[in-house]
A and B are shown apart, each in its own frame.
Chain A
Amino acid sequence: MAAPLLEVQNLVKTYHMGDMEVQALRGVSLSIEEGGFVAIMGSSGSGKSTLMNILGCLDRPTSGRYLLAGDDVSTLDKAELATVRNRLIGFVFQSFNLLTRTSAQENVELPLLYANVPARERAARAREALERVGLGDRMDHHPSQLSGGQQQRVAIARALVTKPRLILADEPTGNLDSKTTIEIIALFQALVRDGITVAIVTHEPEVAEFASRVIVVRDGLVQSDARQEPRPAHLPAKEAAP
């Protein structure tokens, strides 16, 4: 078993809504090893989104420790968290979140801008990432000229381009049909084979079947944490060719 890429201990997150205190996380402890493919499941309000935001360094826990690649990131300020996100984490969202009227290539280059990568290298790495997701011939297309599955693949390329250790996907297939869902999941499985750790948040059990581990969150606590043999995602013939 590989060393844990991330480890959280007794994570608590409390929100204040007016006079009411809402405990979104009530002491979550878990660790995810490098190269794992984890599905985080739970109904809405279970705290899975809060957990995701903290794991993604978008938010800080009220208490508890979060070790990411060996460093405690639970006390970093906004700017430092931004740098950690830029270096270690790639995000994939349900609604793709691509910049409109901006080419696929430039969308993919975006994280590299904030990493101060020179223009020529940015272009080369963006091309590489787009080829990796099978969109080498769509680099100049704008999001409006791409299908939903293609848009999500641009978003995955954007998450890949910084060579992150961890890719966090929040309901990545929520807006896609079942055939495209399989394509995207297959892409994630391929990334895992390359050694990238992937965590996806989903409420669809069918999607969770493709992961090697399923964590169920309920009422701010980990309800179950099971390892399983992932179901391989079979690509449709034309996509499997390259």
Chain B
Amino acid sequence: MSLLQTFRIAVRALLRNKMRSLLTMLGVVIGVGAVIAMVAIGEGAKARVEASFASMGANLLIILPGTSTSGGAHGGFGSQPTLTWADLRAIRAECSAVRRAAAALRANAQVISDEQNWTTSITGTSPDYFSIRAWSVARGVQFTDTDVEGGAKVVSLGQTVVEKLFGASADPIGQTVRIKGVPFVVVSVLAKKGQSPTGQDYDDAVFIPQTTYMAKIQGGMAQYLAGVIFVGANSADDTARAQRQITGLLRDRHRIALGVDDDFSVRNLTEMASAQQEGTKTLTTLLASIAAVSLLVGGIGIMNIMLVSVTERTREIGLRMAVGARPQDILAQFLVEALTLSVAGGVIGVGLGLLAASRLAAQFGWPTLVQPDIIGIAVGFSALVGVVFGAYPARKASQLDPIEALRYE
């Protein structure tokens, strides 16, 4: 008998018990739906982590100045300036794994336009900083190394600051803003960068040349670098090597004896990113395996109903055999029935899973991401469930003795 004909018979048999078929399918529907929704959420979380780390900058390391100990109180990293401008120059010159390095001196201050004011983060830095962080300019021209050397009173604004001071659609290039009473000319507006992994708004910041920052915002302490150093390694693989080189160089320069703690800290953000990704991957796997268990339960439901169906239709099986159905015809018929149930359940499950994912995304603002291949895997897996759990009842049916089966009451 042709496969199409077998499929027709299977569909008719299933339609004869619509409610039962529907309920049997429900197990697989829920299983597949749950897998799709869970994986969509997991993949969405992973994609968000990836995107936020990518927005921090590629192959990024951050050097924080040292810990302080005064009167028995231990200060954290950054509580005391231990990095110097000479350290920065040495890192640039001597660490082969380092492509770029830039200081970032940061303070909060009020920025005033003609009409508005906004308190935001002021960072003094050099043009390399924007390269390291892969942060392009949306409008105007970024300030240059010449501006840094000359201590030019120019400023680059983040998108959020532009909105607050000038309005969303305004072009602030060439306008003047005041920071701590000093007028700065807006030379550029940075591209929108979004949120940091911790939810902080990257775009709520302004940038000025580090020399200007030291002269006008910070004041004094010219020898020490009162901030952090952003380092861009040559490549993702080079971040660990860059970390070792910088640590060695700075311990040398700061004359730290063996066995004594560093007075600085090098943070490798690429490593942090991959650790975070591992975390979300684990989460996805966990969610998917819980969902897979429900798919298994759905499969057992199919087996249960198929066994009931074989028993109920014993006489029908006997009759089919008497009029010429071979054991393999009966086997195929019940297998195709189980397969039809499970695959139909799988397809409906995919639909519901996608719906659930988009609802969750809308309701809770979770990011969801549906990879096309997961849909294929889910449907394929539900087909597998049908074959695995349909095999035993189908075999049982095909092994029936036609005489016994015809006599069955």
Contacts and interface: CB of A to CB of B under 8 A. Distances in A.
Interface string B1-12: 110010001000
Interface string B322-354: 111111110000000000000000000000000
Contacts of B327: 78-79, 82
B320 interface: yes
B403 A53 contact: yes
Interface of B: 1-2, 5, 9, 16, 315-316, 318-329, 402-403, 406
B402 A58 contact: yes
B326 A59 contact: no
A110 B1 contact: no
A165 interface: no
B403 A114 contact: no
Given A93-B406, A97-B315, A78 B326 contact: yes
B329 A114 contact: yes
B324 A86 contact: yes
B324 A79 contact: no
B325 A114 contact: yes
10 closest Cβ contacts across the A-B interface?
A: A86-B324, A114-B324, A111-B323, A79-B326, A82-B326, A97-B319, A91-B322, A58-B402, A114-B325, A58-B403
Interface in A25-66: 53, 56, 58-59
Contacts of A124: none
A85 B16 contact: no
Contact of A114 (B315, B323, B406): B323
A204 B305 CA distance: 42
Nearest to B316: A99
29 contacts: A58-B402, A58-B403, A59-B403, A78-B327, A79-B327, A79-B328, A82-B321, A82-B324, A82-B325, A82-B327, A83-B324, A83-B326, A85-B322, A85-B323, A86-B323, A91-B322, A93-B406, A97-B406, A99-B316, A101-B16, A110-B319, A110-B323, A111-B323, A113-B1, A114-B320, A114-B323, A114-B324, A114-B329, A162-B323
Interface string A105-117: 0000011011110
Contacts of A116: 1-2
Given A85-B322, A97-B315, 18 more contacts: A58-B322, A78-B326, A79-B327, A82-B321, A82-B325, A82-B327, A87-B324, A91-B323, A97-B319, A97-B406, A99-B316, A110-B323, A111-B323, A113-B1, A113-B9, A114-B323, A114-B329, A116-B1
Nearest to B323: A111
A86 B402 CA distance: 13
Nearest to B324: A86
Interface residues of A, number: 24
Contacts of B16: 101
Contacts of A127: none
A111 B323 CA distance: 5
Contacts of B9: 113
Contacts of B403: 53, 58-59
A146 B323 CA distance: 22
A158 B323 CA distance: 9
Given A82-B325, A97-B315, A158-B323, A113 B5 contact: yes
A82 B325 CA distance: 6
A121 B345 CA distance: 35
B1 A111 contact: no
B1 A114 contact: yes
A78 B331 CA distance: 13
A160 to B, nearest CB: 12
A110 B320 CA distance: 8
A116 B2 CA distance: 7
A17 B336 CA distance: 36
A82 B400 CA distance: 13
Interface string A127-162: 000000000000000000000000000000010001
A65 to B, nearest CB: 21
A44 to B, nearest CB: 13
A86 B319 CA distance: 12
B188 to A, nearest CB: 75
A117 to B, nearest CB: 10
Contacts of B402: 58
Nearest to A97: B319
Contacts of B1: 113-114, 116
Nearest to A86: B324
Contacts of A78: 326-327
A158 B322 CA distance: 11
A114 B319 CA distance: 12
A186 to B, nearest CB: 24
A79 B9 CA distance: 20
Contacts of B319: 97, 99, 110
Nearest to B315: A97
Contacts of B325: 82, 114
A187 B326 CA distance: 30
Q: Report which residue of A58, A115, A158 has the largest number of chain B beta carbons within 10 angstroms of its beta carbon.
A: A58
Nearest to A87: B324
Contacts of B2: 116
Contacts of B318: 97
A58 B401 CA distance: 8
A21 B16 CA distance: 43
B242 to A, nearest CB: 72
B401 to A, nearest CB: 8
Contacts of A113: 1, 5, 9
A85 B406 contact: no
A99 B319 CA distance: 9
A151 to B, nearest CB: 13
Contacts of A58: 321-322, 402-403
Contacts of B324: 82-83, 85-87, 111, 114-115, 162
Interface string A148-185: 00000000001000100000000000000000000000
A162 B406 CA distance: 20
